[in-house]
């Protein structure tokens, strides 16, 4: 067992930290306030290779391992979780799914541009009536010979209005249940594809969340990923890896809030001393640091399992379940350490507290993670 990061890992971590501090920190409060998508920053992230980190270099990716991805996600999320969700969806749901299950033509046509951030992607599974219960797909993809006729609505889609490529899960054959579901590559601008208004959210307000409407959209057969009926498996397999990214996002939100709390506790004085000298504050910091370290180890364990081609269903779900709770607990305590200053926007911790909540909801709620974990335990 080796707990040492390699030179390459440390370099990726340092580059992500530098980028977050210099490019993401300025303006993060305003972007949150006005729900402004970090377009310029995402463009730069693409140029620096953060949007296709694990993609094979032959498709223009960084060829890095999942550990590097976790380290970069943590650093970016410490500062701007709205930017890191774009990074997470593009890397682990869109690029990974296409590279693993797409055919060569699809990879050349889409992945080569997604990996550099020239275009970004969206992953479209959730619907108004199908969230945790993803098998209840109402969106239909009727087989019309050389194309599918796509009809229905997708909800809560990250990168909804900024993506160029959408991986859409839809039901082709109801009689076959989840074995009758397909995953289709839908391009922005296809006739009959409409984007709904932007959601007004509690957190990750800079990210771009929309519902999508499909009315008689003709999707060519060559845009289906995998064999007929592979769509549900595609979605579940892709989400299993996606959870490692969201776990790392939660870890970053927690460690960002913790670092701010440590700094503030050394500056703020109460009763004639820095508040860090009060044992009640010291104990809060000790609990935060211990929980964050445990969350980090779970994230790295899941990333290591994936890199070693071992099963990462359980370890990824454990990492997400635990890290998202740590994000929530830590950010609440970080606000407390800041007192009244924690309640206003300038000190960043209130935003991190709002951002933390989504990590317990998307890519499988905490309850769903417990179902995944317990299923594995009781096999």
Active-site positions read 363
Nearer to ligand FAD, 132 or 290 (CB): 132
Of 276, 259, 278, 266, whose CA–CA distance to 352 is shortest? 259
SS3 120: coil
- Minimum distance of ligand FAD from residue 252's CB (angstroms): 17
Rounded distance between C-alpha atoms, residue 343 and residue 117, angstroms: 35
Nearer to ligand FAD, 292 or 368 (CB): 368
- Minimum distance of ligand FAD from residue 370's CB (angstroms): 8
- Residue pair 156/365 in contact (Cβ under 8 Å)? The answer is no
Nearer to ligand FAD, 131 or 226 (CB): 131
- Minimum distance of ligand FAD from residue 58's CB (angstroms): 27
**β-pair partners for 152:** 214
Contact set with ligand FAD (CB under 6 A):
89, 123-126, 131-132, 156-158, 201, 204, 209, 358, 361-363, 365, 367-368
Nearer to ligand FAD, 301 or 365 (CB): 365
SS3 64: coil
- Minimum distance of ligand FAD from residue 139's CB (angstroms): 11
- Minimum distance of ligand FAD from residue 209's CB (angstroms): 5
SS3 208: coil
SS3 284: helix
- Minimum distance of ligand FAD from residue 234's CB (angstroms): 13
Nearer to ligand FAD, 131 or 196 (CB): 131
Nearer to ligand FAD, 108 or 132 (CB): 132
Query: Which residues lie closer than 8 Å to 241 by C-beta, 6 or more apart?
Result: 66, 92, 96, 306, 312, 316
Rounded distance between C-alpha atoms, residue 86 and residue 40, angstroms: 13
Pairing of strands 165-171, 121-124: parallel
Rounded distance between C-alpha atoms, residue 243 and residue 249, angstroms: 10
Per DSSP, helices labelled H in 225-348 are 231-267, 279-307, 313-337
Nearer to ligand FAD, 157 or 292 (CB): 157
Rounded distance between C-alpha atoms, residue 377 and residue 100, angstroms: 27
Rounded distance between C-alpha atoms, residue 86 and residue 28, angstroms: 15
Write b or e for each residue in 211-221: b if 16 or more Cβ atoms lie within 10 A of its Cβ, otherwise e: bbbbeebebee
- Minimum distance of ligand FAD from residue 347's CB (angstroms): 24
SS3 169: strand
Nearer to ligand FAD, 52 or 342 (CB): 52
| CB atoms closer than 10 angstroms to residue 301 | 16
- Minimum distance of ligand FAD from residue 171's CB (angstroms): 15
Of all residues in the shown chain, the one whose CB is closest to ligand FAD is: 131
The widest CA-to-CA distance across the chain, in whole angstroms, is 78
Of 193, 185, 199, 231, whose CA–CA distance to 212 is shortest? 193
**β-pair partners for 182:** 170
Of 295, 213, 211, whose CA–CA distance to 250 is shortest? 295
């Amino acid at each position: 067992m080796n707990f040492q990061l390699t030179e390459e890992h440390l370099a990726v971590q340092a580059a992500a930290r530098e980028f977050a501090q210099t490019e993401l920190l300025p303006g993060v409060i305003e972007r949150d306030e006005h729900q402004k998508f970090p377009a310029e920053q995402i463009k730069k992230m693409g140029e620096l290779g953060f949007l296709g980190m694990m993609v094979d270099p032959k498709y223009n990716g960084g060829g890095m391992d999942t550990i590097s991805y976790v380290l970069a996600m943590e650093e970016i999320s410490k500062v701007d979780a709205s930017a890191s969700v774009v990074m997470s969806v593009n890397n682990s749901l869109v690029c990974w799914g296409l590279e693993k299950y797409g055919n060569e033509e699809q990879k050349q046509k889409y992945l080569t541009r997604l990996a550099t951030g020239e275009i970004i992607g969206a992953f479209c599974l959730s619907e108004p009536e199908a969230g945790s219960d993803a098998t209840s797909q109402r969106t239909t993809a009727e087989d019309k010979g050389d194309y599918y006729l796509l009809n229905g609505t997708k909800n809560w889609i990250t990168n909804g209005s900024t993506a160029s490529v959408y991986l859409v899960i839809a039901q082709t054959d109801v009689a076959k249940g989840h074995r009758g579901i397909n995953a289709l590559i839908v391009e922005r601008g296809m006739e009959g594809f409409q984007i709904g208004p932007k959601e007004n959210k509690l957190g990750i307000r800079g990210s771009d969340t929309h519902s999508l409407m499909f009315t008689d959209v003709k999707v060519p057969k060559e845009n289906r990923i995998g064999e007929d009926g592979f769509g549900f498996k595609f979605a579940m397999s892709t989400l299993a890896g996606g959870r490692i990214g969201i776990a790392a996002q939660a870890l970053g939100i927690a460690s960002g809030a913790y670092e701010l709390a440590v700094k503030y506790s050394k500056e703020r004085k109460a009763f004639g001393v820095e508040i860090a000298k009060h044992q009640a504050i010291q104990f809060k910091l000790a609990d935060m640091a211990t929980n964050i370290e445990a969350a980090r180890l779970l994230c790295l364990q899941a990333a290591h399992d994936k890199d070693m081609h071992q099963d990462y269903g359980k370890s990824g779900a454990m990492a997400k379940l635990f890290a998202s709770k740590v994000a929530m607990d830590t950010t609440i305590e970080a606000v407390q350490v800041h007192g009244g200053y924690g309640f206003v926007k300038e000190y960043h911790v209130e935003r991190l507290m709002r951002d933390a909540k989504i990590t317990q909801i998307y890519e499988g709620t905490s309850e769903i993670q417990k179902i995944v974990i317990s299923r594995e335990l009781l096999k």
